[in-house]
Amino acid sequence: MKSTEKIEERMKRVDMHEFFLQRINDAIKMENYIEASWLIYSCFENRYFRTVEKIKGQCKYSGGKCKKTTNELALRTKVRCLQRLSDAGCSCIKDAFSNELFAKTLLWIKKRNTMMHNLLQLEIYENMDKQFEENAKEGLVLLNRTYASCTLFRKLFYTDGYKFIFPEEAMDKCSCKPRNNTDNELKGV
């Protein structure tokens, strides 16, 4: 399979990501941990979106939440999608991403989101520096691993002769799959 993106566009993306990675490093050096956590989250959003975007067209439920070409799908949903594909044996994902990376990233997202949502609570505000410092530093390590995984995924995905097939078992667990909410299901029958 061959990439459909022009090399010039990919090079502009590389420059953009280098700019933001430098901003993250600068924010950590200047102890601006909330900014660093925010930027790390944004980079995760982009990396997982770009990966899911390459494969989602093969999912029969891609007309659901992830049908848009913009990055509107929740980050946790994107990570879980790739995790299901890895568990289903998709080699380009399983060989590029570890289950440990998925698990640690999901935990990081949960911690970061909780801190962001609770930021203006006094007990969080009084202790936020240390929490956000830990979050930013841990997030940067995970982000660097994610970049390496995405690079390997892209290499495997575009290897001559490789054909990605979206497993039915991963589709059936997709959060985009329509759910039947009949009265019996709502009652637990």
Mean pLDDT, 10 residues at a time, over the chain (189 residues)?
A: 73 89 97 95 94 87 67 86 95 96 98 88 78 95 97 95 89 77 51
pLDDT of residue 184: 46
Q: Who contacts 3 (Cβ-Cβ below 8 Å, separation ≥6)?
A: 10, 154, 158
Total length of the chain: 189
| pLDDT tens by residue, 46-77 | 999 999 989 988 888 777 666 666 667 889 98
Task: Answer for the pair 82, 51: CB distance below 8 angstroms, yes or no.
Answer: yes
Task: Answer for the pair 59, 174: CB distance below 8 angstroms, yes or no.
Answer: yes
Distance of alpha carbon 97 from alpha carbon 83, whole angstroms: 8
